[in-house]
Amino acid sequence: MKTIIVLAMHGAPPSDFPKQELAEFFRLHSQFEYAEGKPQENHLLRYEELERKIRRWPRTAENDPFHAGSMDLALSLRQASGTDIMLGFNEFCEPSLDEALQAGARSGAERVIVVTPMLTRGGEHAEKDIPAAVERARREHPGIEFIYAWPFPISEIARFISDHLKKFSVEGKGHPDA
């Protein structure tokens, strides 16, 4: 069975995106999130324009280290799992999570497994946005199995962190990469 993994990442605005437009984007986002009723059409169009511009902005390790780190994680996960990885971002970067899920479906995969490095409960993206995107993909592609591999067992997260911390305390030597 052909399986694709979609790595669902948060995303961050690039540091060289025009500050005035970024402030406008966040101001509009805040208005829509807390407003009652339907937003004004011209505000919605401007918000969508700014969102596209932010998502499509050229990324480098210098202007968006989070994006570069996401790419590195995807490559390492591909090597560790032996499975094709597609990146999808909740916000600020391309491709969006919905676009990554659609690409996974078009790739001929029979199973698409979605995973995020957001480890603990309580986050809007991990608990609401990602499951909603997975559900949309399921409805659009009923012949494909979509699995959201989350949440992580808290005991496994604690064990992972504990094992990592041990690297810092071996014979009192500081950072393991130093």
Say if residue 23 is in the same domain as residue 104: no
Are the beta carbons of 19 and 97 closer than 8 angstroms? no
Tens-level pLDDT at each residue, the chain (178 residues): 999 999 999 999 999 999 999 999 999 988 877 766 666 788 889 999 999 999 999 999 999 999 999 999 999 999 999 999 999 999 999 999 999 999 999 999 999 999 999 999 999 999 999 999 999 999 999 999 999 999 999 999 999 999 999 998 865 566 666 5
Are the beta carbons of 11 and 51 closer than 8 angstroms? no
The residue segments making up the domain with residue 35 are: 18-56
Pairing between strand 84-89 and 111-115?
Answer: unpaired
Residue 175 is assigned to a structural domain of this protein: no
Rounded CA separation 22/42 (Å): 17
Are the beta carbons of 68 and 14 closer than 8 angstroms? no
Residue 172 is assigned to a structural domain of this protein: no
Residue 173 is assigned to a structural domain of this protein: no
Q: Residue 30 has what pLDDT? A: 87
Q: Residue 99 has what pLDDT? A: 98
Q: Residue 172 has what pLDDT? A: 53
Say if residue 79 is in the same domain as residue 150: yes
Say if residue 78 is in the same domain as residue 150: yes
Say if residue 118 is in the same domain as residue 161: yes
Q: How many structural domains compose the chain?
A: 2
Say if residue 123 is in the same domain as residue 48: no
Question: Cβ contacts of residue 68 below 8 Å, gap of 6+?
Answer: 59, 60, 61
Cα atoms in the 13 Å half-sphere on the side-chain side of 158: 3
Identify the three-state secondary structure at position 115. Answer: strand
Q: Residue 169 has what pLDDT? A: 84
Residue 50 is assigned to a structural domain of this protein: yes
Whole-angstrom CA distances from 85 to 5, 43, 78, 145, 170 are 5, 36, 6, 16, 34
Residue 178 is assigned to a structural domain of this protein: no
Say if residue 143 is in the same domain as residue 70: yes
Question: Cβ contacts of residue 13 below 8 Å, gap of 6+?
Answer: 22, 54, 64, 92
Q: Residue 69 has what pLDDT? A: 98
